[in-house]
Amino acid sequence: MRVLVTGANGFVGRALCGLLASRGVAYRGAVRAAVGTGAGESIAVGNIGPSTEWSSALAGCSAVVHLANLAHSPADRAELEAVNVEGTRRLARQAGAAGVRRMVFMSSVKALCEETVRGPVTESRVPEPADDYGRAKLAAERALAEVAAKAGFEAVILRPPLVYGPGVRANFLTLMRAVQRGLPLPVGAVRNRRSLIYVGNLADAVLRCLEAPEAVGKTYLVADGAPVSTPDLARALAHALGRPPRILGCPPRLLELAGTLIGRGAEVRRLTRSLEVDDSAIRSQLRWRPQYSFEEGLRVTAEWYRARGS
């Protein structure tokens, strides 16, 4: 098996390529501009969209892992549609024409919902994405399924929650920086439940989806294990970083109001509200288990953070 990995030099892509190399799986990394991707080949494909030419990248590959997407940017709906939806459709069509056997697509729990209230979300929930990113991911899933059905190749979709690990960015990195600097965090009164997944565990789940016959045509949620609250996450990060936690109590609704007033309501709600997933399907059907515990994942992430000198 030779695997084409799109977004090979990204956060998840680097972890996946490292895992493939360690398992002796041949891969080719598709990137925007020519750079090394470790032990595998790399090929530049330029910007991803409805006109990207994939034939050279796909040559000789029997499987594709599509990680590249537009996220964590002020992208408008048209950009999300072009890259995340039409870019996926274009890749799927050319993969089918090239004789690819299986394609694993990295979606997001945001294709289902932004928060949970009455327990964990499962794969059977009716999708209700709350923002343009989530809606684009759901549309990309449906585009892939449509093309796969017509072309006759196997499609598998993964919907992870927040992913953390070496190279993490966005809100998780901001939280680590605050903990490392000893800033007081007013989240002590938050009683939420949020699922996370360590990037090494997610890479391992991707590899399992590439190999398992039972994965064909399935969509899976995936997580490290039990959810954690925001204050418990802050305490665990403090422990991993060797810093004393500075957690203050503040009513969650007051935090949300303050966040809204300064134009950061969405970020604050991710700290105060729940987003819990039930990943029992991938565990039972594919016999998948996380290779790293939550504590191990945080330890490795903290080591990376300290080494970068931030």
Per cent of the chain over pLDDT 70 is 96
Domains, the chain, ranges and CATH?
2-164+196-225+276-291 (3.40.50.720)
Residue 37 has pLDDT above 60, yes or no: no
Tell me what pLDDT residue 39 has: 61
Residue 82 CB partners (closer than 8 Å, separation 6+): 49, 50
> 103 - beta bridge partners?
64, 155
278: which 2 tokens?
Answer: 């039930």
33: which 2 tokens?
Answer: 């501009």
**Section 46-52 average pLDDT:** 95
Q: Give, for 13, the enclosing helix (H) or strand (E).
A: helix 11-22
Tell me what pLDDT residue 93 has: 98
Half-sphere exposure of 209 (CA within 13 A, CB side): 30
**Section 206-223 average pLDDT:** 98
pLDDT digits (tens, 9 = 90+) for 228-240: 999 999 999 999 9
Distance CA(208)–CA(203), nearest Å, equals 9
pLDDT digits (tens, 9 = 90+) for 54-103: 999 999 999 999 999 998 666 688 999 999 999 999 999 999 999 999 99
**Section 17-42 average pLDDT:** 85
225 and 290 Cβ atoms separated by less than 8 Å? yes
Distance CA(275)–CA(130), nearest Å, equals 13
Going by C-alpha positions, the residue among 287, 176, 293 that lies closest to residue 233 is 176
Amino acid at 182: G
Sort strands 41-44 and 154-159 into parallel, antiparallel or unpaired: unpaired
State yes or no: is 133 an active-site residue: yes
Tell me what pLDDT residue 61 has: 97
According to DSSP, residue 37 is labeled B
Tell me what pLDDT residue 36 has: 56
pLDDT band at 33 (very low <50, low <70, confident <90, very high): confident
Which member of 133, 164, 220, 292 is catalytic? 133
Distance CA(201)–CA(223), nearest Å, equals 8
Residue 310 has pLDDT above 90, yes or no: no
Amino acid at 113: C
259 and 265 Cβ atoms separated by less than 8 Å? yes
Tell me what pLDDT residue 31 has: 93
137: which 2 tokens?
Answer: 């991911």
pTM assigned to the model? 0.95
pLDDT digits (tens, 9 = 90+) for 277-289: 999 999 999 999 9
